[in-house]
Amino acid sequence: MIRKKRYASSTDVARLAGVSQSAVSRTYKPGASVSNETRQKVLAAAAELGYRPSMIPQIMLTHRSNLVALVVGGMYNPFYAKTLERFTSGLQAAGHQVLLVHVDSGHTLDGAIPRLVSYRVDAIVSALAILSPAAVDELSRLNIPIISFNTPVHNDWISSVCCDNVAAGRMAADLLVERQGRSFAYVRGPLGSPASEERLQGFAERLGAKGFAAPRLSQGDFRYEGGLAAGLELLAGPERPDAIFCGNDLMALGLIDAARERLRLRVPEDVMVVGFDDIPQASWEAYRLTTIAQDEAVMTDHALRIVTRAMELHSGAGNERLVVPGKLIERGSVRPGARASDAPDGAPRRSVREEAREAAVKIPT
């Protein structure tokens, strides 16, 4: 039994149209010389056979694929899914094709390099950080623009788009102290995650400046299950903290479930909880999580501008580092603030959100 070919070839089109194979190639090459009669014959034969020209010869000839690799990991986190959707839509709207590359790590791009070097992509975009100097050198040698979220690295080929994680940690500390928190803890992401460590840095520094002890630490690895375990560890004993900042929302949701369902504690009366990311579940009525939102719209749109400009100019990513301020979103997992009438001398009480807005980093245009 002779199996039918899956794809029609240019030779099949030429045979059916009664023209040469080179005429078929010229028909699909912008600006090439081909008569209108020949073009119509080729297009009619192609439609009958379901022919579409392959991009592979053009890629081999020009060494440009118009492909952008989107490197993803940690897809259990809804924040990454939302960011991926926005990137994909923006790249396709700009006429680029997307190659999705998944890595096991949820926070570092380093592990994707062996696969990336085997593809002829024109740019790499990732929400994962680049950590090791060896990875920086290897990626730079690819000579293609690379944009990475929440990474401390940037050079001629690598640009970074980051949330202001240190300022976000300070914002969480200010809020929890203002709402009468007295014993503090931080649930961190994976060890080595720059974003998690920067959030801890800002949180601990601001607590220290306000005269409080360093926060207790627990490991949650950015996962719901990790937050659940951290909640049981931190809240089961008599010396439990009454104010906890979690490095992302998934861990905060797990911690809230540990407090309420396993330990029968009240949130926010017994323990206040602040998350990070503002994933859709944070606003669910069961959680009403106070959180700090990353402005993924600004971050992804700026990354897209870097990519499209670099691809048009056949250049590097421009050695940029954009730091975008986070936004505090108050819901029900933190005790409400004092009313204006409670302020001394009747002066209106400024909220943490107002103070944070004044201190926001200006975003370059």
Residue 27 has pLDDT above 50, yes or no: yes
Residue 316 has pLDDT above 80, yes or no: no
Is 5 contained in some domain?
A: no
Q: With cut-offs at 50, 70 and 90, classify the pLDDT of residue 178.
A: very high
Is 2 contained in some domain?
A: no
Residue 88 pLDDT:
83
Do 220 and 347 sit in the same domain of this protein? yes
Residue 271 pLDDT:
98
Distances (CA, A) of 53 to 19, 21, 49: 16, 12, 12
Name the pairing type of β-strands 216-219 and 184-188: parallel
Do 193 and 258 sit in the same domain of this protein? yes
Is 363 contained in some domain?
A: no
Q: What is the pTM of this model?
A: 0.73
Residue 64 has pLDDT above 70, yes or no: no
Is 289 contained in some domain?
A: yes
Is 179 contained in some domain?
A: yes
**Spacing of C-alpha 163 from chain mean position:** 10
pLDDT per position as a tens digit, 260-292: 999 999 999 999 999 999 999 999 999 999 999
Q: What is the 3-state secondary structure (H, E, C) of the chain?
A: CCCCCCCCCHHHHHHHHCCCHHHHHHHCCCCCCCCHHHHHHHHHHHHHHCCCCCCHHHHHHHCCCCEEEEEECCCCCHHHHHHHHHHHHHHHHCCCEEEEEECCCCCECHHHHHHHCCCCCCEEEECCECCCHHHHHHHHCCCCCEEEECCCCCCCCEEEEEECHHHHHHHHHHHHHHCCCCCEEEEECCCCCHHHHHHHHHHHHHHHHCCCCCCEEEECCCCHHHHHHHHHHHHCCCCCCCEEEECCHHHHHHHHHHHHHHCCCCCCCCCEEEEEECCHHHHCCCCCCEEEECCHHHHHHHHHHHHHHHHHHCCCCCCCEEEECCEEECCCCCCCCCCHHHCHHHCCCCCHHHHHHHCCCCCCC
**Tally of structural domains, the chain:** 3
Do 67 and 201 sit in the same domain of this protein? no
Residue 340 pLDDT:
38
Residue 117 pLDDT:
62
Do 50 and 82 sit in the same domain of this protein? no
φ/ψ bin of 345: left (φ > 0), alpha (ψ from -120 to 50), beta (otherwise): left
Is 282 contained in some domain?
A: yes
- Where in the sequence is the domain holding 275, given as residue range(s)? 165-294+327-358
Is 4 contained in some domain?
A: no
Do 207 and 120 sit in the same domain of this protein? no
Most confident of 59-63, 91-95, 142-146, 281-285: 281-285
CATH code for position 80: 3.40.50.2300
Do 312 and 255 sit in the same domain of this protein? no
Do 303 and 340 sit in the same domain of this protein? no
Is 246 contained in some domain?
A: yes
Residue 276 pLDDT:
97
Do 204 and 334 sit in the same domain of this protein? yes
Do 70 and 155 sit in the same domain of this protein? yes
Q: Which of 293 and 12 is assigned the larger pLDDT?
A: 293
Do 181 and 318 sit in the same domain of this protein? no
CATH code for position 31: 1.10.260.40
